[in-house]
Amino acid sequence: MYIILLGAPGAGKGTQAVMLAEKKKLVQVASGDLFRKALQQETELGKKAKAYMEKGQLVPDEITIQMVLERLAEPDCKNGAILDGFPRNIKQAKALDKALGQKSRAIDKVVYIKVSEGELIKRLGGRWICRKCQAPYHEVDSPPKTAGKCDRCGGELYQRTDDKPATVKKRLKVYFEETAPLIKYYQGAGKLLEINGEGNVSDISQRILAALH
């Protein structure tokens, strides 16, 4: 099963992807996490992606598509995946459809997590992330039990450089211009499930599971 989580920066894709992956016994494939890992390890891919990420721009399609398709070809993705942050434009969506089609597979559902702009800005401003397992926290709405430490794995928490207000503004602009057209694309394919992404994290998870059933 292949499920895409679609939504603006801060919509809760990462938060919900972790929970959904656990429920569905599928792997979470998050393009942003793959880039951040490459950046941390200072690989060629990381060096290429860095400048785009810091400016809140999309990393070029050639780099992104190859990276995600290679990840999806790994053995732990043989039963499918929860895609978080990919595809991010129509070109990426078509490349994904083509690659899955070559293996007689297809995207099953696209969960569009809808959140108002004011709420997105509030969430990103207070976000902390685990350096080790990438679990997201919010300093007001979902703080860790011990300040600075991940509840799940004890890893160190940090704030993303692209969560600065000016970069968030740019990321939102890029989302509305380049990613939002995917809503119509997947609606047209009869695969879109629109979910209200505001409220309690576990309520939203229940909404997603109910919609998928």
127 is annotated as an active-site residue: yes
Instruction: List the catalytic residue out of 36, 123, 171, 207.
Output: 171
Torsion, Cα 96 99 102 105, to 10 degrees, reads: -40
Q: Is 205 in the site for ligand AP5 (CB under 6 A)?
A: no
Cα 102 to chain centroid, rounded: 24
Comparison of 137 and 186: residue with beta carbon closer to ligand AP5: 137
Q: Which of 3, 4, 6, 13 contacts ligand AP5 by CB under 6 A? A: 13
Q: Does 112 bind ligand AP5 (CB under 6 A)?
A: no
Q: Are 14 and 134 in contact (CB under 8 A)?
A: yes
**Rounded Cα gap, residues 7 and 179, in angstroms:** 8
> CA–CA separation, 143 vs 87, rounded Å?
30
Binding mask 131-170 for ligand AP5 (x = CB under 6 A): -----xxx--xx-------------------x--------
Q: Catalytic residue among 71, 88, 123, 207, which? A: 88
Can residue 80 be called a binding residue for ligand AP5 (CB under 6 A)? Answer: no
Q: Is 176 exposed, middle or buried (0-12, 13-18, 19+ CB in 10 A)?
A: exposed
The correct pick among 31, 38, 150, 208 for binding ligand AP5 (CB under 6 A) is 31
Backbone angles phi, psi at 113, to 5 degrees: -90, 110
90 binds ligand AP5 (CB under 6 A): no
13 part of the active site: yes
Q: Which residues are catalytic?
A: 13, 88, 127, 160, 171
